[in-house]
Amino acid sequence: MSDHYERVKIELQQMKEVENEAAADEEQLPPASVSPIPADVSFTARRDLSKSSINGRSRSKSRSKADGRERQVNGKQLPYLTPQKSDYSQGQSRVSDEPNLHIKGTAKLLKGKTAANGHVESCQRQTDGKCEHHGKEAKKRRAVTVDTSKAKTSLEALKMSIRQLKWKEFPMGRRTACDIYWHGVSFHDNENIISGQVNKFPGMIEMLRKINLSRAVRTMQELFPEEYNFYPRSWILPEEYQLFSTQIRLLKDNDSTLKPTFIVKPDSGSQGDGIYLIRDPADLRVISGSPIKQSVVQEYIQKPLLIDKLKFDIRLYVLVRSLEPLEIYIGKEGLSRFCTEPYQEPSQKNLSHVFMHLTNYSLNVHSGNFVHSDSCSTGSKRTFSSVLYRLASKGVDIKKVWSDIIALVIKTVIALEPELKVYYQADIPPGKPGPTCFQILGFDILLMKNLKPVLLEVNANPSMRIEHEQEVSPGVFEYVPSPVDEEVKVGVIRDTLRLMDPTQRKQHVTSSTGGGSPEEAIVVETGSDEKEGLADSLPSLCLKQVFPKYTKQFNYLRVVERIATIFLRFLGVKGTMRLGPTSFRTFIRNCKLSNSSFSMASVDILYIDITRRWAGMLPDSREAGMCLQAFIEAFFYLAARRFKALLLREQVLLLLEVCEGALEGQSHSEKPRPHRSHTNPASSQSSAPTTFSSPALTRRRHQPMQLSAKANTEN
Ligand code: ADP
């Protein structure tokens, strides 16, 4: 390992020199809407034979393993996509060394990376307790306790992070409460936690299943079609099969030159399992059989950006530090996962070539062409910054790419937030003892040829493994350290812990308020990630705060959250997630929405109609009643009914004003409900969505609204 760090240090030193030469850049605020870049960027393959010894060795090791896995892939998990052995560059290195690049505007982005390595090295070289900096710090503060008993595959990276922070690990759990509970899968891994902080939100796994993510984004697309065009046009199966067939038939009838391709993804699948490509809706019935399985069928991005002729995607780590108030951080460093067969646009012939179309590491690692590399800038898995350097060297405006990605991340979390709040309240009702939550999410993003980022999916449990499987001698497999994974993931976990450090929060409270209101102090503290980085003489954070930092640019999108607040109000605090008919009536009555032309009988019919339809769409739901999505649909209906001839977004905003106005009047005479906040209620007020209209709304007042999900991702 030390070899690796020496090498990385040298690389980083070179990068620093480049950064020093680059002009100091002002951080660019991401635009509220993602605008496609017309630039046509194409790259030619560049092969560097100088690395062939490392790569050659790695490939021969992975190839024998691949055979076993391919059988498994073919036989079981991917019956329709057959991995094709390509003879592409057999025996050659397929990737190239990164040159030293002269780039403007990457210094901030790469800070975290530099810091992560520097710190690992300096601390690892010192024996326990002899790290001077940390020794002093540790004396000042009590060690933060972390229950790691449920950490599963993230354990190694977590242990490293805890060691670096000089915190206290409880690998078998602890009888008394810990400050932080690190779960490998879900909020419920440890039951009965009543204090501290858990690294999972209730409901996150459910929300990030492919169907639910598509639904949440689609709701936003209905209100803000342009702002949410970073998500490919999708249909939910089986319920929208007819709609899918009809829309595609119409599309083809209108333009016979169109040859779209679609990707079908099983609802709860991961790592590429069960995914296949089709060119016509009719193929679905043939492949999926009848009945069609719960899945999402999505427009396939046919022109991805290629490097060395290979398709790749980006895995970025995003920390949702709290929901109330909304706080989002993005890892400055991520991973790029490369396909292992040169890309060609989909044709009937290559539709089943897994290694050409799917970037999943878990699949490509079993290709004979997979390149394990000790360098972060070569091989089939690289750091995202090394890809950015490469793009910058071709003249790409990487600041624009980065700011589009930040916008995509914030908008996606805004789409998820309303329903997450419903889950949160059901598990941790306000006023009852319970932990607070945070979570690291894995965003999978594809760059189109025109550099526009497209959201593929969000993982609730991104792999935090820092080792990969390798055949060390014939037939003997071992987990060996993966430098690129360690480089990225240890920094993300360690800095997530730092941001959640309960002692830091208390320190900030006392030092900055002199014993005054704790809420005020935290408002200041949460706004500055740089400051938090300095507190321990640790490297600056590799996580960058993007919300509330960019509240002004994105808060206008938080319309559905306001509908969810009304929903939660009428739901009560009984740990349920569904609204009963009586509560729905109370909502209508309290918001003064019924009148002579919309009687309470009509209200009941509306409730039954929508609730029944949603019950059919959510077959595994155990609770009866109206879910949030159904309530949103009812709200949209009521808005359209009341404010005819306006854009849906305007109708909804007007109805929100009516409802919030009516409820506010009533609140004055009611006892205020206890409000649970992750950090503090004062800061919640500062970032909570308020009544306002978006700049885009005013701009588009006279344009027709597109109600259907419109992705327009292929430019
Ligand atoms: P999984 O959870 O099974 O990994 P993903 O949605 O991430 O499912 O899809 C797997 C892979 O398929 C992605 O990593 C990407 O390479 C490819 N992919 C997914 N959706 C699209 C799309 N709409 N267009 C092009 N490629 C896609």
SS3 call for 432: coil
For residue range 197-238, what is the model confidence (pLDDT) as tens digits? 999 999 999 999 999 999 999 999 999 999 999 999 999 999
**Residue 581 DSSP one-character state:** H
Residue among 275, 454, 714 whose CB has most ligand 1 atoms within 8 A, to mutate? 275
Summarize pLDDT for 410-434 with one digit per residue, the tens. 999 999 999 999 999 999 988 888 9
Given a contact cutoff of 8 angstroms between Cβ atoms, the answer to whether 624 and 615 are in contact is yes
Region for 514 from its dihedrals, namely left if φ exceeds 0, alpha if ψ lies in -120 to 50, beta otherwise: left
Question: What distance in angstroms lies between residue 116's CA and the mean position of ligand 1's atoms?
Answer: 29
Q: How far apart, in whole angstroms, are the C-alpha atoms of residue 362 and residue 356? A: 14
Q: What whole-number percentage of the chain has pLDDT above 70? A: 69
Q: Tell me how far apart the 2 most distant CA atoms of the chain are, in Å.
A: 82
Q: Report the nearest atom of ligand 1 relative to the CA of 300.
A: 24
- In this structure, of 185-194, 603-612, 684-693, 703-712, the range with the lowest mean pLDDT score is 703-712
Centre of ligand 1 from the C-alpha of residue 221, in Å:
20
More confident residue, 151 or 108: 151
| pLDDT given for residue 29 in this prediction | 42
Q: Please, which pLDDT band fits residue 353 given cuts at 50, 70 and 90?
A: very high
pLDDT bin (cut points 50, 70, 90) of residue 297 is very high
- The pLDDT score that the predictor gives to residue 536 is 56
Atom from ligand 1 closest to the CA of residue 358: 16
Nearest atom (ligand 1) to Cα of 274: 3
Pairing of strands 453-459, 327-331: unpaired
Instruction: Report the nearest atom of ligand 1 relative to the CA of 339.
Output: 16
- What residues flank ligand 1, with Cβ below 6 Å? 232, 263, 265, 269-273, 275, 298, 300-301, 313, 358-360, 444, 446, 456-457
Nearest CA, atom 19, ligand 1: 456
Query: In angstroms, how far is the first alpha carbon of the chain from the final one?
Result: 44
Q: Are 543 and 330 in contact (CB under 8 A)?
A: yes
**What is the mean pLDDT of the segment spanning 7-20?**
41
The CA 287 to ligand 1 mean position distance, Å, reads 18
Which of 649, 655, 650, 654 has the alpha carbon at shortest distance from 635? 655
Six token digits for residue 525 = 């503290």
- Which one, of 72, 94, 93, 92, lies nearest residue 354 by Cα? 72
Point out the ligand 1 atom lying closest to the alpha carbon of residue 272: 3
pLDDT band with cut points at 50, 70 and 90 for residue 175: very high
709 Cα to the center of ligand 1, angstroms: 19
Give, using CA atoms, the residue closest to atom 17 of ligand 1: 358
Does the bond joining 325 to the residue before it have cis omega, within 30 degrees of 0?
Answer: yes
Query: CA 646, CA 662: separation in Å to the nearest integer?
Result: 22
Q: Any idea which residue has 């977590």 for tokens?
A: 158
The residue ranking higher by pLDDT, 129 or 715, is: 129
What is the per-residue pLDDT across 442-496, written as a single tens digit (0 to 9) for each? 999 999 999 999 999 999 999 999 998 777 777 787 888 999 999 899 999 999 9
More confident residue, 441 or 97: 441
Query: Torsion over CA of 408, 230, 113 and 144, rounded to 10 degrees?
Result: 40
Query: Rounded CA gap, 279 and 698, in Å?
Result: 39
Structure tokens at 38: 């017309």
**Beta bridge mates, 320:** 328, 439
The per-residue pLDDT of the chain, averaged, comes to 77
CA nearest 301: which of 290, 314, 311, 288? 311
Task: Give the range among 49-63, 620-634, 645-659 with minimum mean pLDDT.
Answer: 49-63
Ligand 1 atom nearest residue 301's Cα: 24
Rg (CA), the chain: 26
516-575: pLDDT as tens digits: 333 222 222 333 444 444 445 788 999 999 999 999 999 999 999 999 999 999 998 778
Is the pLDDT reported for residue 705 higher than 90? Answer: no
Query: For residue 139, what pLDDT band results from cuts at 50, 70 and 90?
Result: low
Q: Which atom of ligand 1 is nearest to the CA of 275?
A: 3
Answer yes or no: is pLDDT of 114 > 50. Answer: no
Mean pLDDT computed over 391-396: 97
- Both tokens of residue 624? 């009866």
CA of 425 to the centre of ligand 1 (A): 32
* Of residues 504, 552, 492, 510, the one with CA closest to residue 528: 504
- Residue 185: CB partners within 8 Å, gap ≥ 6? 150, 152, 200, 205, 461
Closest atom, ligand 1, to C-alpha of 457: 6
Burial of 143 (0-12, 13-18, 19+ CB in 10 A): middle
Q: How far is the CA of 361 from the centre of ligand 1 (A)?
A: 11
Residue 183 clears pLDDT 50, i.e. is over it: yes
pLDDT digits (tens, 9 = 90+) for 565-617: 999 999 987 788 999 999 999 999 999 999 998 999 999 999 999 999 999 88
Q: Is the pLDDT of residue 655 over 50?
A: yes
Lowest mean pLDDT among 97-111, 349-363, 548-562: 97-111
Q: Among 427, 429, 497, which residue's Cα sits nearest to residue 191?
A: 427
Is 70 exceeded by the pLDDT of residue 440? yes
Rounded to the nearest angstrom, the distance between the alpha carbon of 358 and the centre of ligand 1 is 6
**pLDDT score of 688:** 57
Q: Whose CA is nearest to atom 2 of ligand 1?
A: 270
287, pLDDT greater than 70: yes
**What are the distances in angstroms from CA 31 to CA 403, 411, 473?**
7, 11, 52
Phi, psi of 622, deg, nearest 5: -90, -25
Distance 269 CA to ligand 1 centre (A): 11
Q: How far apart are CA 373 and CA 57, in angstroms?
A: 10
User: Which residues is 278 bridged to in the sheet?
Assistant: 262
Question: How far does residue 96's CA lie from ligand 1's centre (Å)?
Answer: 25
pLDDT at residue 670, rounded to an integer: 57
CA–centroid distance for 235 within its chain: 20
